[in-house]
Chain A
Amino acid sequence: GAGVSQTPSNKVTEKGKYVELRCDPISGHTALYWYRQSLGQGPEFLIYFQGTGAADDSGLPNDRFFAVRPEGSVSTLKIQRTERGDSAVYLCASSAYLGTAKHNEQFFGPGTRLTVL
């Protein structure tokens, strides 16, 4: 079956521009996550959706970052007034919701490599 897909695979933009990154989760997965991986680092949590609502956005670095998931499937990560420090690989993951008693295996997409010039 299809895995998590992300578009575009690469995005080059200029400082100050607005970008949108898209994630298509595995069909039927209600949980969706965004992570950011900077060079030489492991992925860092940004935001978690359960269904349409952002259950936890505590990882978003500042108010230039925003994410939506209006129909509980596809999600878009939006970055306003991009800065050079935003350059990173943005990873999306999805999982089935197993409730509060178990740990969810997260399935990752290939990521979008964002370069801010």
Chain B
Amino acid sequence: DQQVKQNSPSLSVQEGRISILNCDYTNSMFDYFLWYKKYPAEGPTFLISISSIKDKNEDGRFTVFLNKSAKHLSLHIVPSQPGDSAVYFCAAYSGAGSYQLTFGKGTKLSVIP
């Protein structure tokens, strides 16, 4: 039973355009969400996060949107760059002080020059 779902295994975007990666969740106890980026042969690297009390968090080219009523979040990358090509994982915590991250299966983003 996947509690964090990333339904698009892959996404291709032209350089300079917007990349939108989607994530849905089923567990209402999730209160903190993170996006991790992973290059081949490397571990996941933290990218951006959002608390459930917010609906948007922005960091440079990266913005995460949270729609709690729909149990949906999305990561926007604008403008997309070839170096953004990687696998992106959505992950969630349930409760302050929790330590167990629940991950989605990931979406492979390819940014075409």
Residues in A lying within 8 Å of B, measured CB to CB: 4, 9, 31, 33, 35, 40-45, 48, 55-56, 59, 91, 93, 95, 99-111
Label chain A's interface by main secondary structure. Answer: loop
B45-A48 in contact (CB<8A): no
Size category of the binding interface on chain B: 20 to 34
For A56, the chain B residues whose CB sits under 8 A away are: 99-100
B37-50 vs A: 1/0 string, CB under 8 Å?
A: 00001111110010
Closest to A107 in B: B46
B89-A43 in contact (CB<8A): yes
Residues in B lying within 8 Å of A, measured CB to CB: 4, 6, 32, 34, 36, 41-46, 49, 89, 91, 93, 96-106
A108-B96 in contact (CB<8A): no
Q: From residue A93, how far is it (CB to closest CB) to chain B in Å?
A: 8
Q: A33-B99, A42-B103, A43-B101 are in contact. List 5 more A-B contacts (CB 8 A).
A: A42-B91, A55-B99, A102-B96, A102-B97, A108-B44
Q: From residue B82, how far is it (CB to closest CB) to chain A in Å?
A: 22
